Chain A
Amino acid sequence: MALTRREFLTRTGLATAASFLGPSFFRHPFVTQAMAETIGDRYFVLIFLDGGNDGLNTVAPYDNASGMRDAYNTARSASSAGGINLAPASLLVPTPLTPAQALKDANTGAQLGLHPGLTGLKNLFELGKVAVIQGCGYPDYSLSHEVSRLTWQTGSALNLGTGWLGRHMALNYGSTDVSAVCIEDAVHTEFKQTATNVLAISRLQYFSFPYDDYDDADIAFKRQAFADLSTAAAGQAQPTLHYTGVSGGTTLTASESYRQLDGLYTGARQTWDSGYEDLDNKFAQPHTNYVARDLREVAKIIYGVSQGQPMGNPAQARFFEISTGGYDTHSNQGGASPTGQHWEILQGVGDAIEWFYQDLANMGVANKVCVMVYSEFSRRIAQNDSGTDHGSQGPVFVIGGSVQGGCYGNHPNIMDPNLYLQDAEGNTQYSQAAGDAFRSTDFRDVYGTILKHWINMPVTGPSGINAILPADGGDPTMWWTLPNFDLGFV
Chain B
Amino acid sequence: MGNPSATLSANEARHLLRRTGFGAPRTTVTQLTGRTRGAAVDGILSFKPTKFKPRGSGTDARLYSWVRYMISSKFQLQEKLVLFWHDHFANSDAKVANDRFMANQNATFRKFCKGNFKDFVKTMNTDVAMLEFLDTVRNFKDVPNENYARELQELFTLGVKDFNGNANYDQADIVQIARAFTGWNYDYRKAKPYFDDYYHDYTADFSERGPKVIYKNHGGFQPTGRNYAPTADDEGAQEINAVIDIIFDHKDTSGKSTVARFITQKLISYFAHPAPSAAFVDTVIAESNFDGAVVDPLKPAWNIGALLRAIFVNDEFYATAAAADPSTGFDASTPKSVKWPTDFVVSTMRLLRMRLQGRYAIVNGGDYRSVHDHLENMGQHLFEPPSVFGWDWETAWLSSSTLLARYGFARDLINARGTSTSRFRPQILVDLNLTDPADIVTAVTDVFGITDQLSDGEKAILADYLTNNGAVSSLDLHDYDTRNLKLHGLFALVMQTAAYQVH
Q: List chain A positions with a Cβ less than 8 A from chain B.
A: 50-51, 142-147, 182, 184-187, 199-202, 207-212, 214-215, 218, 221-222, 224-226, 228-230, 232-233, 235-241, 243-245, 247-248, 250-251, 254-255, 286, 325, 330-331, 382-387, 389-390, 424-425
Q: What residues on B are CB-neighbors of A225 within 8 Å?
A: 461-462, 464-465, 493
User: Of A142, A144, A185, A385, which is within 8 A of B145 by CB?
Assistant: A385
- In the bound assembly, the distance between CA atoms of A483 and B257 in angstroms comes to 42
- Known: A240-B336, A331-B135, A385-B143. Is A209-B489 also a contact (CB below 8 A)? no
Give the Cβ gap from B460 to chain A, nearest Cβ, in Å: 9
A212-B411, A233-B499, A241-B499 given; A247·B398 CB < 8 A: yes
Q: For residue B486, which residues in chain A have a CB less than 8 angstroms away from its CB?
A: 218
The listed residue with most B CB atoms (<10 A of its CB), out of A142, A199, A222, A233, is: A233
> Whole-angstrom distance between the alpha carbons of A200 and B404 in the complex?
10
B328 at the binding interface (Cβ < 8 Å) = yes
Across the interface, A212 reaches (CB within 8 A) one of B160, B492, B502, namely B492
Q: Is the CB of B331 within 8 A of A237?
A: yes
What are 29 A-B contacts defined by CB distance under 8 Å?
A144-B154, A146-B154, A199-B400, A200-B401, A207-B404, A210-B412, A218-B485, A224-B469, A225-B461, A225-B493, A229-B498, A232-B455, A236-B328, A237-B330, A238-B334, A238-B336, A240-B336, A241-B330, A241-B498, A244-B502, A247-B398, A250-B400, A255-B400, A330-B135, A330-B145, A385-B138, A385-B143, A389-B145, A389-B146
Among B142, B366, B387, point to the contact of A210 (Cβ < 8 A). B366
A226 and B366: CB pair below 8 A? Answer: no
Judge whether A215 and B485 touch: CB under 8 Å.
yes
Inter-chain contact total with CB atoms closer than 8 Å: 196
Most buried by B among A144, A226, A238: A238
Interface string of B124-137 (1 = CB under 8 A from A): 00000000000100
| B278 within 8 A of partner (CB) | no
- Measured in the bound complex, the distance between the Cα atoms of B492 and A239 in whole Å is 24
Residue among B150, B394, B496 with max Cβ neighbours from chain A (10 Å): B496
Cβ-closest 3 pairs across A and B: A200-B399, A233-B498, A238-B330
Contact of B403 among A239, A251, A387 (CB under 8 A): A251
Q: Which residues of B contact A226 (CB under 8 A)?
A: 493, 496
Using CB atoms, name the residue of chain A closest to B492.
A212
Q: Which residues of A contact B298 (CB under 8 A)?
A: none
CB–CB B497/A185 < 8 A: no
Q: Which of A229, A243, A286 gathers most chain B CB within 10 Å?
A: A229
Distance of A143 Cα from B493 Cα, bound (Å): 46
A382 and B146 CA atoms in complex are apart in Å by 13
Taking A210-B366, A232-B457 as contacts, is the C-beta distance between A200 and B331 under 8 angstroms? no
A186 B396 Cβ-Cβ under 8 A: yes
Residues of A within 8 A of B430 (CB): none
Provide the residues of chain A in CB contact with B498, threshold 8 Å: 229-230, 233, 236, 241, 244-245, 248
- Mark B146-177 against chain A: 1 for CB-CB distance below 8 A, else 0: 11001000100000100000000001101100
Contact of A201 with B400 at beta-carbon distance under 8 Å, contacts A144-B150, A240-B394 already known: yes
Would you call A228 and B171 a contact (CB within 8 A)? no
Bound: A85/B484 CA distance, A = 66
A286 to B493 alpha-carbon distance, docked (Å): 38
Q: Does B458 contact A (CB under 8 A)?
A: yes
Number of interface residues of B (CB under 8 A): 74
Candidates A143, A222, A241; contact of B329 at CB < 8 Å? A241
Across the interface, B332 reaches (CB within 8 A) one of A145, A146, A207, A237, namely A237
> Complex formed: what's the CA distance from A384 to B139 in Å?
9
- When distances are taken between beta carbons in the complex, the residues of chain A under 8 Å from B403 are 244, 247-248, 251
A244 pairs with B398, CB closer than 8 A: yes
Q: Which residues of A contact B294 (CB under 8 A)?
A: none
Q: Is the CB of B389 within 8 A of A187?
A: no
Bits for B241-284, please: 1 = Cβ < 8 Å to A, else 0. Answer: 00000000000000000000000000000000000000000000
Known: A209-B407, A210-B407, A245-B498. 17 other contacts (CB 8 A): A144-B150, A185-B379, A186-B401, A212-B488, A214-B489, A218-B485, A233-B498, A236-B328, A237-B329, A237-B330, A240-B394, A240-B395, A241-B498, A244-B403, A251-B403, A286-B94, A390-B146
